[in-house]
């Protein structure tokens, strides 16, 4: 589609329009944007993998619900979390 002569003409026109300093800064900014995009995509994929692993671990057969020990009895930490706290009494 593009041969090397067309590419050289396009680059020469871009050089005349923007100048060398501007092209360098455009290239740097474009490279940083691509690098940031790739990093965000890999971070998003790793977060998705962690969510799936956590969900799989929560729903494994033979494993009790979170906060339940191996004997099926609620752990003290889970009991504290499930306690309902009464609202503070007012002085009215």
**pLDDT tens digits for range 24-41:** 999 999 999 999 999 988
pTM of the model: 0.43
Among candidate residues 61, 41, 60, 62, the one with its CA nearest the CA of residue 52: 60
| Residue appearing with tokens 């306690």 | 83
Tens of pLDDT along 66-85? 555 555 555 555 555 555 56
With b for 16 or more beta-carbon neighbours within 10 A and e for fewer, the 43-72 pattern comes to eeeeeeeeeeeeeeeeeeeeeeeeeeeeee
Q: Is the pLDDT of residue 6 over 90?
A: yes
What are the residue boundaries of the structural domains of the chain, listed by start?
Answer: 20-60
Q: Is the pLDDT of residue 64 over 80?
A: no
């Amino acid at each position: 589609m593009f041969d090397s002569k067309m590419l050289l003409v396009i680059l020469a026109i871009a050089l005349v329009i923007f100048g060398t300093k501007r092209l360098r800064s455009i290239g740097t900014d474009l490279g940083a944007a691509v690098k940031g995009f790739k990093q965000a995509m890999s971070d998003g994929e790793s977060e998705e993998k962690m969510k799936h692993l956590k969900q799989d671990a929560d729903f494994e057969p033979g494993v009790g619900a979170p906060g339940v020990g191996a004997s099926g009895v609620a752990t003290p930490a889970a009991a504290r979390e499930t306690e309902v706290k009464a609202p503070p009494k007012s002085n009215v």
